[in-house]
Amino acid sequence: MPKSAYPVDKPFDAIDHALIESFKAGSSEAIEKLVERYESRLFRFGLRMCGHQQDAEDIAQETFLSAFRHLDRFRQETPLKNWLFKIAARACFRRRRKKKGEPEREISIESLKENNGDYVIPDFSETPDESVIRNELKAVIDGAVRELPSKYRMVFNLRDIEGFSTEETAGIVGISEQLVKTRLHRARLFLRNKISAAYKEGDRKR
Amino acid sequence: MSECGRHFERISEYLDGELDQETLVEIERHLSECPRCGNCLESLKRTIALCRRLEDEEIPLDVQRRIKEKVLECLAEESH
């Protein structure tokens, strides 16, 4: 397979390639190794998208099953990781559609402009790595991420947490690059405002 | 749209290095002159850094085991 089929900044992954070839040759060990390579990331992605451990576990399983059913026809024109996240993203959206009473909200840019520029965001370089502070921060951030409408949460997770590029995220979600940029910016501002509000509230109580 | 408003919408693209040269120069000039937009930029940087920093947990071992077992079991059933 030519390396040029991969995005320029994503080098050819020789381990994935070798495992896929072993899988095609009938190796069940290759299945185990591929699951081990990606299960943590897919589980955490599912957890951040759906908020429930059981849903995250189901999403990871569904993703692997779907991938292995079609892997013999996978042409490796995109990295395996991107393909797996595309399957997982679809599984997350399907799950969301099944849940009634959750209309998709838009975040308007106007709603994010309030506040005169006065934000309190802890500087992570000055934050001691203590478990109490870490847990407190994590609870605040997890709560803020959960409040994001799912299409914004999806883009934020893929771009800022998983580290996919704008182009890759657009390919995974099936939207334009411009829409990725718009949703990412609004998601970041939304999270910034929520985290800042939580910290101001915490300061008032202390 | 005011100058602040115009730049406000593109601060993430600035952070991600996705602006063309002309817009980049314009936004950098504005950021050096506007404390409010400078604060916005800094607060967004910190937000992203915080969110990324807290993302290194491993999944529970029993969950890892269940995912692998279920996948292998389903694929074995389908192949029979």
What ipTM did this prediction achieve?
0.90
Cβ proximity of A188 and B12 under 8 Å: yes
Note whether B80 contacts A: Cβ–Cβ < 8 A. Answer: no
Inter-chain CB proximity A122 and B44 less than 8 Å = no
- Model pLDDT for residues A132-160, shown as the tens digit of each residue: 667 778 888 888 998 999 999 999 999 99
DSSP string, A117-128: T------GGGS-
pLDDT of residue A17: 94
Rounded to 5 degrees, what angle do the CA atoms A173, A174, A176 make? 105
B2: alpha, beta or left, given left = phi > 0 and alpha = psi -120 to 50? beta
CATH of B3-79, one of 3.30.70, 1.10.10, 3.40.30, 1.10.3470: 1.10.10
Query: To the nearest whole percent, how much of chain A has pLDDT over 70?
Result: 80
CB pairs under 8 A between A and B: 106
| DSSP class of A75 | -
Tell me the mean pLDDT per 10 residues along chain B, length 80.
80 95 94 89 90 76 94 89
For CA atoms A17, A22, A25, A31, give the dihedral sign: negative
Q: What are phi and psi of A29, to 5 degrees?
A: -65, -35
Supply the DSSP symbol for B49: H
pLDDT at A125: 58
Residue A1 has pLDDT above 50, yes or no: no
**For chain A, the helix, strand and coil percentages under 3-state DSSP, each to the nearest 5:** 70, 0, 30
Confidence at residue B55, expressed as pLDDT on a 0 to 100 scale:
64
Per the CB < 8 Å rule, is B44 touching A189?
Answer: yes
Share of chain A above pLDDT 90, in %: 56
Residue among B18, B35, B47 whose CB faces A188 most closely: B47
Domain annotation for chain A: domains and CATH numbers: 3-98 (1.10.1740.10), 110-205 (1.10.10.10)
Structure confidence by residue, pLDDT tens digits, A80-98: 999 999 999 999 988 877 7
Contacts of A57 in chain B (CB under 8 A): 63, 66-67
**Closest approach of chain A CAs to the CA of B54, in angstroms?**
7
Give this prediction's pTM. 0.88
What are the tens digits of pLDDT across the range A36-72? 999 999 999 999 998 889 999 999 999 999 999 999 9
Euclidean distance between CA atoms B74 and B68, whole angstroms: 10
